[in-house]
Chain A
Amino acid sequence: MTLSEETKHYIVEKLSSLTPIFARASIGDFSQDIDIPDEDDGFMELYAGIQVMLDVIRQKIAILEEEVTERKKIDERLQHVLDNMIEGFQIIDFDWRYLYVNTAVTLQTQKLKEDLLGHTMMELYPDIEKTELFTYLKRTMEQRSAHQMENEFVFPDGHTGWFELRIEPITEGIFILSLDITQRKKQQEELQRIVSIVESTEDAVIGKDLNGIITNWNPAAERLYGYSQQEAVGKPITIIFPPDKKEEFESIMSRIRKGEKIDHFETKRIAKEGKVIDVSVTVSPIKDGKDVIIGASSIGRNITDSKKAERTLRESEEHFRALVNATSSVIYRMSPDWSEMRELQGKKFLANTGEPLRNWLEKYIHPKDQQHVMSVINEAIKTKSIFQLEHQVKQADGTLGWTFSRAIPILNNEGEIVEWFGAASDITERKKQEEELSRLAAIVESSDDAIIGKTLDGIITTWNKGAENLYGYTEEEIVGKPNNMLIPQDRSNEWSEFIDKISKGETIKNFETVRLHKDGRSIDVSITFSPIKDGSGTITGCSAIVRDITERKKIDSMKNEFVALASHQLKTPLTSIKWYSELLLKHHDQHLSEKQKEYLHEIHKSNKRMIYLINSLLNVSRIDLGTFIVSPVPSQLTQIIDEVLEEFAVQITEHNMHVEKQYDHNVPTILLDANVMRIIVSNLILNAIRYSIDHGVITIQISKDDQRVHIAIKDNGIGIPLGEREKIFKKFSRADNAMMQNTDGSGLGLYMVKSLVDQTGGTVIFTSEENKGTEFVVSFPLSGMKEKIGTRQLH
């Protein structure tokens, strides 16, 4: 190594400022003076002098020799020092070549000395000329100025390091002293982050020394206590202690000195303007690098608001109790482990307990529920969470009721349960309803009828066992699917018609139609559709109760056949009687006495009545089965009525009655089934005759208004008693006074009238006064009777 003396001195000088111990030793070595004696005293003195000279020379030689050794030693020592420095030390010549690097440089750059020495900086760091660092290096090289800086250096492999650098000009070029401060930078950054957290936290963070002098004071502390950082730092922490809490300071500090931490200690502090603040404070000792406690940090949290809320709660406990009282039947307090009931105000629901009660379980809870109740309680105790349960209770009146009981654990500062506060409501009624509901659900489930719920869009939502049996689909298969799966193609319009009505809140009862089984076959069904309403009354869906009427249809058909056959069999002998009595009266009356003729007439009349009755029964059967045909054609109402009156002419005469016709001849021709109309009118006229008084009057009025035609048939007969009016249209029903007056009635006439009018789109009403008379008014729209498809005609 060849370094100029000047450089060596320079290095030593610089090093002295950096690594004082090594540098001092070096300086001592270099500053040693060489002292040569000056002696000349005669021959002897000369000899002696020569000896001395020789000695001196020897000494000089020795000194020189020593000096050389010493120099070597110094070089070695310098080398050692340089290589053991933590600072990097490098000399760059004017051509930017590395002239010298110490070991620290090789560590910092992760390159071998050989890789560096003799090479230029640009070779090793191609991008170096673009860096800020290089501008300083260049400036030092050219302007011979010194610089000191912190620099983040990006190595070619991408890793970065932070360095503290001193760059100085020297005779060989420039000298760079570099210290790796990457770790320190990281720590600084970490610290910065912590500082920013402390600065930004809503908790007041305060540092103080062991004498309680404030050393740190964050913005939250400023906000909480009102003192600025400048005001607080340097002051004793006791400035924020209320007068009555001053002794707290000593107890806190003595614990801190022992190295203890004080966690979430709730106390009071006083702000600058004198306001007392509830705070929760955590105080921790601050230790220096040697683990010596040098102060304390405290983190304070304002709990004034929550404290206030707590206090308010306490203050309003009476209000709260009043509220609970109003909303719940029962309030109670339990010991932490529920072994003791401290109090129970049961109102009238449960019996009160003023004194602590240990056997509360036996007193209030039904034996079969006790175990369950206790297991839920124990779980709540274990988890310190709310207890809530619906269970049966023995009510004050001794009967069993249901309660919904809730209890919250009251915790102390240590988080231990001190008491349970509970409220229980009487849900006996609700439970009863639920039971009722579940019974209903069970009924639905077990019903033979298919009970189906669906949305207004026809999506099936409920499906009971009956539905499964009827349609073949299981609940899993069909719920969520559209109900058109069940409707035959040719009846697909039905649903949209129904849903219009359902949406308006209407119910469709016993609608007979056809539905599809899963296996594709048709099923004759009778369906009642009803709207499903939610709690607010909004229609949310539709229920359908579907009954399989395939069997009934078969039976109906058989019944029909039977009725037809039976009536035929009955009618044949009646026809025979009718014809022979006619033949007798017609061809042999000259051989008969008046009495015989009278008897024959009676036979003929009764026989006719019998035939009429059979026809009526046949009609009723067809009305009931819905098999009768209504095929309206344009008809003159007056003509039909006159024809009926003609049929009854004999009877009217026999009863000495008078018919008054009040026909409005503006009544147009309307669509009527003459057969049906005849049955309606003849039954009403027959009644007017039967229940008339002698010399009675039957008034028949035909009229129209804007929308309807009216046929009013009025008599001045016995009238319908008030109590009988409800049932006059019922099958086989006859009013008491009607039975007295006339035993002929079958109780079918008005039933037929009502049924036929209803099923053909008309209405029938009546007004009546006993012993004054009755008026029936049958009305049809101007459009006439509704057509009805069927298989049978009526008589």
Chain B
Amino acid sequence: MEKTGRILIIEDEQSLLTAMEDELSAQGYTVSVAHNGEEGLHAAINQKPDLIILDILMPKLNGMAMLKKLRGDEEYGKTAKVIVLTNLEADDKMVSDVVETQPTYYLIKSDVNIDGIAEKVKEVLEGN
């Protein structure tokens, strides 16, 4: 069944970005991408996607800082659905204030396979 929804993937690692973009596009989602936090924040506010997949360790603006700024945007960002997808762990110092930023989901890349990501995306969007 063809899936609908606009997804923004913010990920600096091109190989991972491509893999996710390919899979989610194949599943029928409209996928846009950004390669760093700054670009991602800009795209998010402009495009107002249904879901953001966000990496943490990125140049220019890291994922956590970007998410904080996004949550400051009353119109869209405050309630935007975000899946944080990283190889850093939730208890790492960089993501210690991850709770404040209220990501919808938090996934460890190496623990999850590509099907797992798709499932999670479906779950979040349908839970709307």
Contact = CB atoms under 8 A, between A and B. Distances in A.
Interface in B64-89: 87-89
B113 to A, nearest CB: 5
Interface stretch (B2-10, B13-21, B30-38, B44-52): B13-21
Contact of A792 (B13, B20, B91, B110): B91
Contacts of B87: 567-568, 571-572, 575
Nearest to B92: A564
Contact of A793 (B13, B20, B90): B90
B39 interface: no
A793 B113 contact: no
A418 B90 CA distance: 95
Given A583-B22, A791-B91, A793-B90, A572 B16 contact: yes
Interface string A583-608: 10011000000000000000000000
B43 interface: no
Contacts of B15: 573, 576, 580
Contacts of B91: 629, 791-793
A587 B89 CA distance: 30
Given A575-B109, A576-B15, A582-B114, A793 B23 contact: no
Nearest to A627: B91
A611 B23 contact: no
A595 B13 CA distance: 30
A350 B71 CA distance: 94
Contact of A572 (B90, B109, B113): B109
A571 B110 contact: yes
Contact of A579 (B16, B26, B89, B92): B16
A564 B23 CA distance: 29
Interface string A607-625: 0000100110000000000
A629 B89 CA distance: 13
A578 B113 contact: yes
B47 to A, nearest CB: 24
Contact of B57 (A568, A611, A629): A568
A574 interface: yes
Nearest to B89: A793
Contacts of A629: 91
B115 interface: yes
Contacts of A574: 110
Interface in A621-662: 629
Contact of A564 (B20, B22, B89, B114): B89
B110 A611 contact: yes
Contacts of A564: 88-89, 92
Contacts of B57: 568
Given A568-B87, A580-B19, A583-B22, A575 B115 contact: no
A575 B16 contact: yes
For chain B, the bracket of interface size reads 20 to 34
Contacts of A568: 57, 87-88
A579 B115 CA distance: 9
A568 B16 CA distance: 14
A586 B115 contact: yes
A567 B110 CA distance: 11
Given A572-B87, A587-B26, A579 B13 contact: no
Nearest to A569: B87
A615 B22 CA distance: 28
For B22, B87, B90, B115, which residue has the most chain A Cβ atoms within 10 angstroms? Answer: B87
A42 to B, nearest CB: 184
A582 B118 CA distance: 12
Given A571-B110, A574-B110, A579 B19 contact: yes
A579 B114 contact: yes
A203 to B, nearest CB: 98
B19 A583 contact: yes
B59 to A, nearest CB: 14
A158 B102 CA distance: 113
B13 to A, nearest CB: 6
B38 to A, nearest CB: 20
A561 to B, nearest CB: 8
Nearest to A580: B19
A408 B106 CA distance: 92
Given A575-B16, A575-B109, A576-B15, A583 B90 contact: no
Contacts of A580: 15, 19
A575 B110 contact: yes
Contact of A586 (B20, B109, B114): B114
B91 to A, nearest CB: 5
Nearest to A791: B91
A583 B114 contact: yes
A558 to B, nearest CB: 13
A791 B94 CA distance: 13
Given A572-B13, A587-B26, A579 B88 contact: no
Interface in A62-120: none
A578 B13 CA distance: 14
Contacts of A792: 89, 91
Interface in B101-121: 109-111, 113-115
A571 B109 contact: yes
A611 B16 CA distance: 16
B26 A576 contact: no
A634 to B, nearest CB: 22
A591 to B, nearest CB: 15
9 contacts: A571-B87, A574-B110, A576-B16, A576-B19, A578-B110, A578-B114, A579-B23, A583-B114, A795-B111
The 4 lowest CB-CB distance pairs between A and B, nearest first, are: A571-B87, A576-B15, A579-B19, A575-B109
Interface of A: 564, 567-568, 571-576, 578-580, 582-583, 586-587, 611, 614-615, 629, 791-793, 795
Given A572-B16, A579-B19, 5 more contacts: A571-B87, A573-B15, A576-B16, A583-B23, A611-B111
